[in-house]
């Protein structure tokens, strides 16, 4: 039984320790860990160590004269767990307050010891100023920072800027978009702006949708030359293309809101003209700022912007509603998005004729996510025989690479029509291997497909249609 227990630990590759800070500085945490015999000798496969620190106040620390000693002992014990660990993640959630000398030194001791000798050093801070002085040294060499910060945002920005040279990932969420510009401020004592030479992944978000436009940066300024992933869950906060400079060959993933202010700024900078971002393969666009009442000019502006961004994309996800007529028309132009393999428009309701039009427009598409809204005006009056003839006439001409249709269910979806549409599409696209429907639809969907297999005209296409049946209910 003892050896089986050790074997269990051998499988662990990530270990998370959740602990109150005061328990570390009082020695209580170490005593508890020591009571777990064979802990340090058993984690042979451990690669990632995560420490979640709960709240600690200066008043509590002032009553712990042995805080520094206990911090050193805790670090020494934990480091026995991680001779081979290459990633250390520390998360702290607490109340913002000023640190006294003891608490600052105690946290410096703790963080410095835990991060030492680790390739990846990840720090997450949520509305707390307690750790700021302890992290105000570039010697920590932080490689990833997550901040959800309001009350101490200015201090958090200082920590980020101090680690600009070593950061590879940065996630910033704040209520005031005006604060975002501080990431690109001048280096203290210098006229030069900050550069993040190793940044690979950047995520900026703000719940405030008002636009903040800071002054344009010098056209030679390139803050993120190696950026591979950019997520902008907010109105674009700059007046030029500064975030997109110098990374036209490195950027691979982009999440952006297609709201008018953002579009105008980036269009004026000609940011995405001419398919410049040659390796931008995955694009996700949030269209929450457009709806059925959006004027025609804005609707066209949004579609043109999406098509520009996705010029070299292999996957395109559209959140929110856009004009489906304009989208299908734009996708039908041969030079637009001709490398697209996956299209997700979960908030759009397409009829079957429109689904076929989308697949026809995209020569290498293999996956489509959308809602179904009937067969379409031209097809809904046809008999089953006529529908199969229609499908057979499209076979080989449409969707030669198409494999999966993911049918998102809404209150307008008629399951019988969904099953009929799926069967027609399986005839049109011979490489189609399966469909995805919601669990609530599957019983009726399966029943309709099963009955069709034994009747004309679908029985002639049994081999293609059998693949549509759900044999498992995962």
Looking at the predicted structure, is the pLDDT value of residue 207 above 80? Answer: no
Residues of the chain with pLDDT > 70, as a percent, come to 82
Instruction: Evaluate the CA torsion angle 317, 330, 291, 297 in order and state its sign.
Output: positive
Q: pTM of the prediction?
A: 0.87
Distance CA 369, CA 280 (A): 21
Per-residue pLDDT, averaged over 340-354, amounts to 93
Q: Where are the domains of the chain?
A: 252-333, 341-349+360-474
* Angle between the N-to-C axes of helices 296-309 and 324-331, in degrees from 0 to 180, rounded to the nearest 10: 40
* Angle between the N-to-C axes of helices 439-453 and 415-428, in degrees from 0 to 180, rounded to the nearest 10: 60
Question: Residue 289: its pLDDT value, please?
Answer: 57
Give whole-number Cα distances, 392 to 29, 336, 396, in Å. Answer: 70, 27, 9
Question: Residue 237: its pLDDT value, please?
Answer: 86
Contact present, 330 and 307 (Cβ < 8 Å): yes
Contact present, 399 and 360 (Cβ < 8 Å): yes
Tell me which DSSP letter residue 467 carries.
G
Tens-place pLDDT, residues 68-117: 888 888 888 887 766 567 788 887 765 545 555 556 677 777 777 878 77
């Amino acid at each position: 039984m003892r050896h089986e227990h050790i074997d269990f630990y051998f499988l662990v590759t990530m270990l998370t320790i959740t602990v109150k800070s005061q328990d570390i500085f009082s020695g209580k945490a170490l005593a508890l860990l020591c009571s777990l015999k064979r802990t340090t000798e058993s984690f042979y496969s451990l690669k990632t160590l995560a420490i979640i620190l709960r709240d600690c106040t200066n008043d509590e620390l002032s009553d712990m004269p042995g805080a520094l000693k206990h911090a050193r002992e805790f670090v020494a014990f934990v480091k026995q767990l991680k001779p081979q660990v290459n990633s250390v993640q520390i998360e702290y959630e607490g109340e913002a307050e000023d640190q006294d000398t003891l608490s600052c030194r105690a946290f410096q001791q703790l963080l410095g010891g835990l991060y030492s000798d680790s390739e990846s050093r990840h720090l997450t801070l949520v509305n707390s100023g307690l750790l700021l002085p302890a992290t105000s040294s570039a010697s920590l060499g932080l490689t990833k920072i997550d901040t959800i910060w309001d009350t101490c945002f200015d201090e958090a920005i200082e920590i980020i800027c101090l680690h600009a040279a070593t950061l590879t990932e940065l996630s910033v969420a704040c209520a005031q978009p005006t604060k975002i510009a501080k990431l690109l401020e001048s280096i203290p004592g210098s006229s030069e702006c900050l550069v993040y030479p190793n940044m690979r992944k950047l995520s900026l978000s703000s719940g405030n949708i008002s636009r903040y436009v800071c002054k344009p940066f010098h056209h030679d300024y390139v803050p993120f030359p190696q950026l591979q992933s950019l997520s902008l869950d907010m109105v674009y906060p700059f007046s030029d293309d500064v975030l997109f400079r110098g990374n036209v060959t490195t950027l691979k993933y982009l999440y952006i809101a297609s709201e008018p202010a953002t579009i105008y700024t980036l269009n004026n900078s000609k940011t995405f003209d001419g398919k410049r971002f040659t390796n931008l393969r995955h694009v996700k666009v949030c269209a929450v700022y457009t709806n059925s009442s959006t004027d025609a000019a804005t609707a066209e502006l949004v579609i043109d912007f999406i098509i520009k961004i996705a010029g070299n994309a292999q996957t395109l996800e559209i959140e929110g509603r856009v004009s489906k007529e304009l989208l299908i028309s734009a996708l039908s132009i041969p030079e637009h998005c001709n490398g697209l393999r996956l299209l997700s428009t979960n908030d759009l309701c397409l009829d079957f004729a429109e689904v076929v039009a989308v697949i026809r427009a995209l020569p290498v598409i293999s996956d489509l996510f959308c809602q179904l809204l009937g067969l379409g005006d031209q097809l809904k009056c046809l008999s089953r025989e006529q529908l199969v003839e229609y499908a057979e006439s499209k076979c080989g001409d449409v969707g030669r690479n198409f494999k999966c249709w993911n049918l998102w269910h809404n209150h307008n979806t008629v399951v019988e029509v969904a099953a009929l549409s799926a069967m027609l599409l399986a005839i049109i696209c011979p490489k189609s291997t399966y469909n995805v429907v919601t669990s609530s639809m599957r019983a009726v969907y399966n029943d309709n497909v099963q009955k069709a297999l034994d009747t004309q005209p679908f029985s002639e296409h049994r081999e293609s249609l059998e693949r549509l049946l759900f044999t498992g209910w995962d």
